[in-house]
Structure 1
Amino acid sequence: MNIPPIIAAGDTVWWLDRAFTSAAGGLIASPDYVLTYSLRGPVQSGNVDINGVADGGGWKVTITADQSAALNATATPNVWYWQAVATKGQERVTAGGGTLKVTPNIAGLPTNGIFDGRSKAEQDLAAVRAEISRRISGGATVEYTIGQRSLKKEPMSALVEIEERCLRIVARERKASAAANGLGNPGRLGVRFT
């Protein structure tokens, strides 16, 4: 299935899916079969079923601007789950499934507002680094007691472990983002000898 892995809220998005062979070996093609994408996610108002339109032996599937705008949830991460199903009468064949990430429509945000486009892992990494910096400079209390109440913060070793975990997650996110934007694997270097 050719649904893009990342779309921007408010965009009209379309793609072409080709005819395919079922697990039983039968040809699944239009106009005999109707191909439907079902998207489900963090906001009920964004849940949608989209029928593909016959295009040759395959289907052209379109998410309208209004539909993609409805996918713009405030949940983080803004991940929607999709499943594509081909049907003919009572026959039903699952064509595929996966996830779709919806990025915000930045152009639709007010210019006098604040926007933080960092992922949760990037935000956590910044917070952990700020706490480590406060501890190193001596400006943060690690443990204190007031009356019957006490607070004990994570030891420095635990903060370093959290930082390392966040760094790994951020590196994976950036690698996936680079690949999704057609930049390939940033860790791979190609060399050609002439």
Structure 2
Amino acid sequence: MIGIIRYGAGNIFSLTAALERLGIKYGMVNSDADFEQFDRYIIPGVGHAGAAMNKLEHSGMVKKIKALQKPTLGICVGMQLLTSYSEEGDANLLNIFPIKTLRFADSAEYKVPHTGWNQVEQEMDNPLFKNIPTGSHFYFVHSYFIEFNKAYTLASTTYSTKFSASIWKDNFYAVQFHPEKSGKYGEQLLTNFSNI
């Protein structure tokens, strides 16, 4: 069963609605004591990475999250929290991935935030993307991106620059897009995660 880590920085309705549609069981992780009930976790998040990290620290769950050995998926700001640093709020983050979260440069051609459907190109094979063709479209809403690093990038996207749309290290997986809003391939990704 999936434990959704609740720390006050995510509207989780669309995520829980998607899990219910897919028949994937889930519950809420509100404190350290709740972790043992679940065999995998999702870290959601919307909005400001620095503020989200502050809320996560106040939740008292940082040490537990960093020590997780079970499959864990960060979504959107939940992905950014797994990196070492974000320019948003000049914030030090969980540092599970030694890479940074940077702001898109605004231009006439590329408006910020990056909003809408974009192609995701797979960079390596991984069960998270099983039965999802490379080049599939996913739904993005973000002003900050994860710097591309081949060592950790499962899939990439280009919007003014090439960046990591999905990263992986050990039991930690993350996606910048919103799988719960990305149609059949987003649902496939959530199903894949539930089976890792």
Output the TM-score relative to the length of structure 2: 0.22
Output the TM-score relative to the length of structure 1: 0.22
